[in-house]
Amino acid sequence: MDRTFISAALIAVVALCGCNSPMQSKEERAAKDSANAPVQGVPEEKTESAKFDTTYGDYRISAITTGNSSMRDLMLAIGSKKDSTRADSTIEKDIKGTLKNLMVGDLDGNGKPELYLQTVSEGTGQFGKIYAYDLSSKPVVINTFSLDTMQQAAYRGQDSFYIKGKTLVRSFPAYREGQPDALTANTRGIITYHLQKAGDTLKLMPAK
| Region of poorest pLDDT, from 33-37, 51-55, 157-161 | 33-37
On the question of pLDDT at 200 being above 60, the answer is yes
pLDDT of the residue at 40: 57
Q: Which of 85-89, 108-112, 130-134 has the highest mean pLDDT?
A: 130-134
On the question of pLDDT at 184 being above 80, the answer is no
Percentage of the chain beyond pLDDT 70 is 73
pLDDT of the residue at 104: 97
On the question of pLDDT at 131 being above 90, the answer is yes
As separate numbers, helices (DSSP H) first and strands (DSSP E) second, the chain gives 3, 12
Q: What is the pLDDT of residues 68-108, one digit of tens each?
A: 877 899 999 999 998 888 888 899 999 999 999 999 999 99
Q: What is the pLDDT of residues 153-180, one digit of tens each?
A: 788 888 899 999 999 999 988 877 666 5
**What's the chain's average pLDDT?**
80
**Which bin fits 97, alpha (ψ -120 to 50), beta or left (φ > 0)?**
left
Q: Give the global pTM.
A: 0.73
Percentage of the chain beyond pLDDT 90 is 46
On the question of pLDDT at 137 being above 90, the answer is no
Q: Is 83 exposed, middle or buried (0-12, 13-18, 19+ CB in 10 A)?
A: exposed
- How far, in Å, CA of 76 to CA of 163, rounded? 20
Provide φ and ψ at 90, rounded to 5°: -145, 150
